[in-house]
Amino acid sequence: MGELITPDYLELQKDLHARYDYGRGVDAQECADRIRAIAALGSSVLDYGCGQGHLGKLLRPDYDVREYDPCVEGKDGLPEPANFVVCADVLEHIEPDYLDDVLDHIRKLTRERAILVIATAPSGKIMADGRQAHLIVEDAAWWHRRIGRHFFTHIWEDRTARGRGIVAEVI
């Protein structure tokens, strides 16, 4: 497995996690609804980049929810594969040089399907080094090509015109 995050960026992200309630957006509810629509009860679900773990709160006890976030103590151990992987509002935060490694990691962890939710606009959050929190701000076509290197796209929803980014269900 390649590198997923540099030590310096990990510290910047830990600071952001301490200052913001990551993972609480409307995407947690939408992702929970999508999991309920496609996953049998009891299926394993990995919340990749779980932040404060809001998705898990919405899915437990009906699903075997696992959480991974390198920036949250206790959730920072490398995860085991799961039937379904949810990666919501994470990929735009990845260091550009590590994006392919992270996508490859998600693919290796996904047994059945992954749900990716990606912002395509700048973030309102500012990191301690002065940069805005979305390191990758690209349009839907760019993301479709990049994700296509790693996954087969089952569902692709470009919601950028409504300011909602992209939702992809990939295999």
What ranges do the domains of the chain cover? 7-115+140-150
- Tokens encoding 129: 């080094």
Mean pLDDT of the chain, nearest integer: 95
Rounded-to-integer distance, Cα 42 and Cα 159, Å: 30
CATH number for domain 7-115+140-150, candidates 3.40.50.1370, 2.60.40.4070, 3.40.50.150, 3.30.930.10: 3.40.50.150
Rounded-to-integer distance, Cα 145 and Cα 156, Å: 12
* Rg of the chain, C-alpha, whole Å: 15
Rounded-to-integer distance, Cα 37 and Cα 28, Å: 14
Residue 26 is predicted with a pLDDT of: 64
Confidence bin at 20 (pLDDT 50/70/90): confident
Dihedral angle sign, alpha carbons of residues 25, 30, 33, 34 = negative
Residue 57 is predicted with a pLDDT of: 95
Mean pLDDT of 74-102: 97
Confidence bin at 24 (pLDDT 50/70/90): low
Q: What is the pLDDT of residues 34-59, one digit of tens each?
A: 999 999 999 999 999 999 899 999 99
